């Protein structure tokens, strides 16, 4: 690709907004972007700030989901502890029917708690990986490595 303005010059970058080829003299740095002029700088920055706003909302949503999962797992965990205490009391008093009733409930509740915690961590890690990839793509900007 050659420069949009100077046909003879090889493009070293492409405008992040309009995509035109830019030679070294024509390219203007607006980190993390490279643009052809002030109009495209304005354009790319307004798109950038809109993207950042969406990103912040997205992060807030993820945090809320994670908190919710954490609260649910905490709730299940407390229930499991409560039932385990009852099981311990039943064992000490020797009521076999109580043990039979409460042990499966305790196992079930601790299972739910574990699943909720694990799901929360996997969910958060997946989203973090995706955000990192998007960040790397953005920081690469419009630079042409092979030109």
- By CB under 5 A, tell whether 3 contacts Zn ion: yes
Binding mask 25-64 for Zn ion (x = CB under 5 A): -x---------x---x------------------------
Among 13, 14, 23, 90, binds Zn ion (CB under 5 A): 23
Q: What are phi and psi of 27, to 5 degrees?
A: -80, 130
Beta carbon of residue 50, minimum distance to Zn ion (angstroms, whole number): 18
Beta carbon of residue 34, minimum distance to Zn ion (angstroms, whole number): 9
Beta carbon of residue 25, minimum distance to Zn ion (angstroms, whole number): 5
Nearer to Zn ion, 4 or 76 (CB): 4
- By CB under 5 A, tell whether 69 contacts Zn ion: no
Beta carbon of residue 135, minimum distance to Zn ion (angstroms, whole number): 23
- By CB under 5 A, tell whether 15 contacts Zn ion: yes
Calculate the alpha carbon distances from 20 to 25, 31, 115 in Å: 14, 17, 51
């Amino acid at each position: 690709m050659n420069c949009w303005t100077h046909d003879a010059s090889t493009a070293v970058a492409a405008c992040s907004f309009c995509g035109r080829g830019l030679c070294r003299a024509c390219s203007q740095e607006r980190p993390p972007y490279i643009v052809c002029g002030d109009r495209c700088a304005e354009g790319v920055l307004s798109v950038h700030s809109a993207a950042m706003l969406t990103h912040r909302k997205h992060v807030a949503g993820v945090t809320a989901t994670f908190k919710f999962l954490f609260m649910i797992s905490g709730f299940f965990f407390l229930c499991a502890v409560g039932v385990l205490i009852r099981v311990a009391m039943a064992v000490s008093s020797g009521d076999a029917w109580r043990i039979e009733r409460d042990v499966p409930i305790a196992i079930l509740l601790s299972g739910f708690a574990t699943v909720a915690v694990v799901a929360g961590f996997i969910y958060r890690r997946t989203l973090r990986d995706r955000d990192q990839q998007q960040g790397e793509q953005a920081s690469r900007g419009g630079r042409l490595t092979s030109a």
